[in-house]
Chains A and B, each alone.
Chain A
């Protein structure tokens, strides 16, 4: 079974932290995560976000002059037989 995940990619940690802070202030859920190797060679952080928040996130990026590389989707293998905690 596959699950689609959405990641915001950044040129550096600083931009990632800036967006994370702004989203938190706006009540938009985001989780800081290592950038999936399949998504970028850049080995910094990315934000794992919900699909329904992507437009809000793009606005936030623009309003606060935050540099992002892209918002990408990554397929994640999910074992349906395993307990899930988040």
Chain B
């Protein structure tokens, strides 16, 4: 028996780990020192938690360059956020454009809405996951209500040109929805500049917070037209049976995930202190190194873009001639390398990339990974395939 080596976590596309320094402590402190409820409790401890939640909204507004932090809404996660828009806003007769790279967090709610008379079309997407903004212009119809795109692919990491698409949407009076699951905390996104009306985020991936918390940022114009999907108690205008129109209450019925938000607060503080550019640079250096090493192995194909340009630190590999699941299993069992294999909840993306139904093995790096870990992974791949 050889010396047991530390496991390597390359599944940061599913959820980041380790979480940012201070997250576990912040959650622990809340739970042990007073997990009082906001918008309900009328005592100092509850107000302290409320102040921290307000700070977190302000951090998120700064991160996404939103004008008003009141437009930051917390949800249990990005899937809920996207459902808020797709199932809460779209109506019979509405038409929607999506990219061919969308996650099922978008496609399944859209599929549900087909029964309600909503139609959708795919913007052409090539074998590298690229989408051309010029194609969007010609696809917008009279009844197109929204364009929904992910900022970066969760399968191959390709970045969608959201700024260009957003400008087209604004010019044509179409709401623009961006899913930042794989980009938040890594690449900057200015929602005003990119004309984003609905920005969905998750707290537990690149934002380095705990699972179970996410949200969305909403523009004034969309908010005026959108009704809350979930209704219930908010701790405000309790004399009325109607939902409040004031934000964030309009979209935040019930008790929000306070341990999640407090953990996210600590994670965002870490990101602000460290700097998005520093985090991104580290991730891309690891990605570049990994891509270089993988290119030396003929039995493995990089799916999507071959270099670091126009991508995030998510790389999919196809172990040609082998079952990708068996390859991932071997990586984990023999070498302690944790990845994600399969279709990544994005069957359309795999069809576009030519990897359906075999799927791929996904390696997603965080700034906590090291070059030494990438080297160990490359050595493992050589050992498996040479």
Interface, chain A (partner B; CB < 8 A): 11-15, 17-18, 20-21, 32-34, 41-45, 65, 67
CB 8 Å contact bits of B201-242 with A (1 = contact, 0 = none)? 000000000000000000000000000000000111111000
Which residue of B54, B239, B247 contacts A42 across the interface (Cβ within 8 Å)? B239
Residues of A within 8 A of B334 (CB): none
Residues of A within 8 A of B234 (CB): 12
By a beta-carbon cutoff of 8 Å, the part of chain B in contact with chain A is 38-39, 42, 44, 47, 50-51, 54, 68, 70, 234-239, 244, 246-249
- B244 near A12: Cβ-Cβ < 8 Å: yes
Query: Can you offer 7 A-B residue contacts whose CB atoms are under 8 A?
Result: A11-B244, A14-B70, A14-B246, A17-B50, A17-B54, A20-B51, A45-B42
The smallest C-beta distance from A44 to any residue of chain B, in angstroms, reads 5
Count of A-B residue pairs with CB < 8 Å: 57
Chain B, interface SS category: loop
List the B side residues contacting A20 at CB < 8 Å: 47, 51
Q: Is the CB of A18 within 8 A of B54?
A: yes
B42 partner residues in chain A, CB cutoff 8 A: 33-34, 45
A65 to B247, CA, bound (A): 13
**A86 CB to nearest B CB, Å:** 13
CB pair A14–B249 under 8 Å, yes or no, is: yes
Contacts of A42 in B (CB 8 A): 236-239
Question: Which A residues are in CB contact (< 8 Å) with B235?
Answer: 12-13, 43-44
Q: Known: A21-B51, A67-B246. Is A13-B39 also a contact (CB below 8 A)?
A: yes
Q: How close is A4's CB to chain B, nearest CB, in angstroms?
A: 22
Residues of B within 8 A of A11 (CB): 236-237, 244, 246, 249
Q: B54 contacts which of A14, A33, A44, A67 (Cβ < 8 Å)?
A: A14
Shortest distance between the CB of B341 and any CB in chain A (Å): 43
Q: Assuming the A-B contacts A32-B47, A65-B68, are A12 and B54 also in contact, with contact meaning beta carbons closer than 8 angstroms in the complex?
A: no
What is the minimal beta-carbon distance from B294 to any residue of chain A, in angstroms?
A: 48
In whole angstroms, how far apart are the Cα atoms of A14 and B247 in the complex? Answer: 8
In the complex, which residue of chain A has the Cβ closest to the Cβ of B54? A17
Given contacts A12-B237, A14-B247, 14 further A-B contacts (CB under 8 A): A11-B249, A12-B236, A12-B244, A13-B50, A14-B70, A14-B246, A15-B246, A20-B51, A21-B54, A32-B47, A33-B42, A42-B236, A43-B236, A65-B68
A32 to B44, CA, bound (A): 8
**A44 (CB) vs chain B CBs: closest residue:** B236
B39 contacts A12, CB within 8 Å?
Answer: yes
